[in-house]
Amino acid sequence: MGRDWKPPACTSWAEGGFATLVTIVARFPHSSEAEGLLRHIGAISELAGMRYWSTTHQQWRTLIGSAYALIDSQPGQRREDFTSNEMKEGKVLYFEQVDNLSGKAIYRMHIVEASASRVVFDVENLSTMRYYFIPIFHPGELQSMYFLDRESDKVWRYYSIVRIGKNANGLIAGNESSSVNRAVAFYRYLVGIPATQEPPGAR
């Protein structure tokens, strides 16, 4: 385990170490402005139904059962999806989603940068996540950060880093293939690749 790993300065993560760390580097076609990406990122309700390859069941399964934006960090305060006008640099937004393994949880999304050529945002869980009532992630133990940079008029670069904290429950933290496939599922959703396109990220 990478207990001595130090997060790069660009993440602003204070605590070091990890139980699982997944990064994705890619290019994807996108001819519209950054506003289109921000609108897509803010469309929290569209995360519902996202699918991924389950290494446990060896089949495509639904990853996110439901998802919705929140007025604030309190549960149940549903609202409409975030608009691109709300996805401004420095903005902190909240949403709630139901994961197929860890159930319902509240997340904080921070828009670090938002310009015509660069979008950076990070996400972390605010509430404890449980698997069959067993705590697996305490607040802040599931973190992710995404960097989207315009390369040309029709191509953007994608870089993401997902970290499971070093103190997370080993029931989930030790399943690296599952973490890879979950990260790939979000990448495919964000850039418009069919969720169940073969091959999966990891078997």
Tell me: the pLDDT tens digits for 5-60?
999 998 989 888 998 999 999 999 998 889 999 999 999 999 999 999 998 889 99
pLDDT of residue 24: 97
Q: Please provide the average confidence, as pLDDT, over all residues in the chain.
A: 91
Q: What is the mean pLDDT of residues 154-161?
A: 96
Q: What is the mean pLDDT of residues 168-195?
A: 86
Judged on CB neighbours under 10 Å (0-12, 13-18, 19+), 96 is buried
Domains of the chain: 17-191 (3.30.530.20)
pLDDT of residue 173: 62
Quote the pTM value.
Answer: 0.93
pLDDT of residue 166: 86
- Strand segments, DSSP code E, in 115-154 are 118-125, 129-131, 134-137, 142-150
pLDDT band at 86 (very low <50, low <70, confident <90, very high): very high
For residue 188, is pLDDT > 60?
yes
pLDDT of residue 161: 96
Q: Kindly report, residue by residue over 90-115, the tens digit of the pLDDT.
A: 999 999 999 887 788 999 999 999 99
Percent residues over pLDDT 90 in the chain = 70
* Residues 203, 186: Cα–Cα separation, whole Å: 17
